[in-house]
Chains A and B, each alone.
Chain A
Amino acid sequence: MSDTATTTGRAPSVYVPSAEALATVLAPGERPPRPSALGASLTFGWRALLKIKHVPEQLFDVTAFPIIMVLMFTYLFGGALADSPRDYLQFFLPGIMVTSVVMITMYTGVGLNTDIEKGIFDRFRTLPVWRPAALVGMIFGDVLRYVLAAVVILSVGLVLGFRPDGGLLGVAAGIGLLVVFSFAFSWVWTFFGLVLRSEKSVMGVSMMVLFPLTFLSNVFVDPSTMPGWLQAFVKLNPITHLVAAVRAAMGGSSDPTNTMWLLLWSAGFVVVFGTLTMYRYNRR
């Protein structure tokens, strides 16, 4: 960015508080009606967009990281698990898309933790707006990042030879399901972002949750080769339902059972972790 160090560049004229100028801004005007829940959430979402605009580096994790994931695993496992990386990709791409995006959800917690550390949330929490708006808006911003990551992965996949039978509509439906789940799952991280003391501990916890959740699933291999106890976990794992539903959508069919489970899990995450988050948010 070119606008660094402008503070010292110019000789600023000395500010002298003028009673008249202050009087104009201090005159008590009409108090506007408080914004609606959605309006306030969207305004906080706008803040997230502004942050992306000013700190574009933060998009690194939704672009470079997914690309590395796709390339790495396609060529690492492709030959061994299928006839060729290209064949493996047809099975694997929806799964790695889910893995990457779900892993990115943890940044919601990291971001929240940083915001709280800096003190800005003190101001938000003294505003007379719908209480969850600051967090909902933050996750709105994150949803944009999820879509971006999904599109990046899809593009890399298409270049490498991924050919979804579901066409544009199927792919869009798959990404839609993924985004719904990720929105819901983000509430897990808002909770940890509020409870844990530092950014580092949020990262630590998220790795402990995300690695088993994404790897012990149907993302990389067909679960039928796993021992029974592991299959039981894999079957329960919401990521498994999500991957199955996304795979079906992108493959041009549908999987109502898994879609239903995935939506139930999503609702569960919002209800349980949304409630816990708001409890912590209000009681800090």
Chain B
Amino acid sequence: MSKRTTGLAIEAEGLTRSFGETRALAGMDLQVPAGTVYGLLGPNGAGKTTAVRVLATLLRPDGGRARVFGHDVVAEADKVRSRVSLTGQYASIDEDLTGIENLVLLGRLLGLRKAAARERADQLLTAFGLTEAGTRQVKKYSGGMRRRIDIAASILNTPDLLFLDEPTTGLDPRSRNQVWEIVRAVVAHGTTVLLTTQYLDEADQLAGRIAVVDHGRVIAEGTPGELKSSVGSGTVHLRLRDAAQRPDAEKVLQAALGVPVQLEADPLALTARVGGEGSDLAASEQAARALADLSRAGIVVDDFSLGQPSLDEVFLALTDHPAVPADERDEQLEAAR
């Protein structure tokens, strides 16, 4: 176990990869410590999937180098393959086959004998709550079950490094929680997990460290706490009863929080970041004080909320551009694959 959980699982330097005109990776550096969940956070088309495909030996980089447990992903691809597993964004299992057949197939390909492969398949189905579904074709599974059989297939060989490419995109909240529990169990047993996600809260829940990815490179890196405090650990949203009071409210808030206050399109609404660097108070504390100041100033607040910064806010803070409108680029990338 100790061998599996020390050192770096992934070291990448200056990875580049283009698809036609599109630069999917533009010099990406990564250091992923072994034995942790590492989050790659970014919008569609940021280069997360391309990075995973390069690291999982599916795609050759145009430039730069990457090593997985010390093995070069190009020159020693086979050594890398014996230690990693991938659950891709799209089903990496055969939908025409049943759950059992898929797992037995993979078990056999990993060198298990027939009986052992069957036993392993049964174990996995039990652990993932799919015993009953085992004899059904995977195309008849629900989205959550499909994800589970996919992850079950990925841990069949208890890999040292597991790639999970947007494992919860498109899942309902319950299935998402199930996947999160599974990821926690996997990493608790010494497997390193590289997780890509578009959701800050998912990275926050699972990852020990996060790299924020944009336009094919890492634009910020750190623990979830570090990232959030660089952006502000929360955002206060306010709705006033009277729009005429908004200029006053802005002044009061600015004075109380010491940060710029944003006036929303809604003439009643204001937002401000709280709990950022240089503030020795917790976000909730700051917000409470601001509320008290507002009430003292006679400003009526109808609606108030304190939330985590969204991925969009993190992005705005880090890049000055919002995270969302990369969709077109993503489609181009898809086509180029």
Contact = CB atoms under 8 A, between A and B. Distances in A.
B109 A17 contact: no
B257 to A, nearest CB: 41
B109 A43 contact: yes
Interface in A111-132: 118-120, 122-129
B86 A123 contact: yes
A208 interface: no
B126 interface: yes
A7 B145 CA distance: 10
Interface stretch (A49-57, A142-150, A177-185, A246-254): A49-57
Interface stretch (B55-63, B278-286, B312-320): B55-63
Given A12-B132, A123-B93, A283-B60, A28 B158 contact: yes
The CB with the most chain A CB atoms within 10 A, among B82, B91, B112, B185, is that of: B185
Interface residues of B, number: 65
Given A26-B186, A28-B158, A43 B92 contact: no
Contact of B93 (A6, A120, A129): A120
Given A7-B140, A50-B101, A122-B86, A25 B81 contact: no
A46 B130 CA distance: 23
A257 interface: no
B185 A120 contact: no
B244 interface: no
Interface string B97-130: 1100100011011111100100010011011111
Contact of A43 (B4, B60, B108): B108
Contact of B185 (A26, A124, A284): A26
B148 interface: yes
Interface residues of A, number: 50
Given A12-B132, A119-B92, A123-B153, A17 B178 contact: yes
The CB with the most chain B CB atoms within 10 A, among A7, A19, A44, is that of: A7
A99 B59 CA distance: 38
Contacts of B58: 122, 125-126, 284
Contacts of B178: 15-17
B9 to A, nearest CB: 15
A3 B157 contact: no
Contact of A25 (B101, B123, B132, B142): B123
B78 A128 contact: yes
A17 B105 CA distance: 24
Given A6-B136, A15-B148, A26-B155, A120 B92 contact: yes
A40 B109 contact: yes
Interface stretch (A30-38, A80-88, A211-219, A260-268): A30-38
A31 B158 CA distance: 9
A118 B148 contact: no
Contacts of A50: 96-97, 101, 105
A33 B144 CA distance: 33
Nearest to A46: B105
Contacts of A128: 78, 81-82, 110
Interface of A: 3-7, 12, 14-19, 21-29, 31-35, 39-40, 43-44, 46-47, 50-51, 54-55, 118-120, 122-129, 133, 283-284
Interface of B: 1, 4, 53, 56-60, 78, 81-82, 84-86, 88-98, 101, 105-106, 108-113, 116, 120, 123-124, 126-130, 132, 136-137, 140-142, 144, 148, 152-153, 155, 157-158, 174, 178, 181-182, 185-186, 189-191
Given A24-B127, A28-B190, A125-B57, 20 more contacts: A3-B140, A6-B140, A7-B140, A17-B182, A25-B155, A26-B189, A26-B191, A28-B4, A33-B111, A34-B111, A35-B109, A50-B96, A51-B96, A51-B97, A119-B91, A123-B86, A126-B56, A128-B110, A129-B109, A133-B109
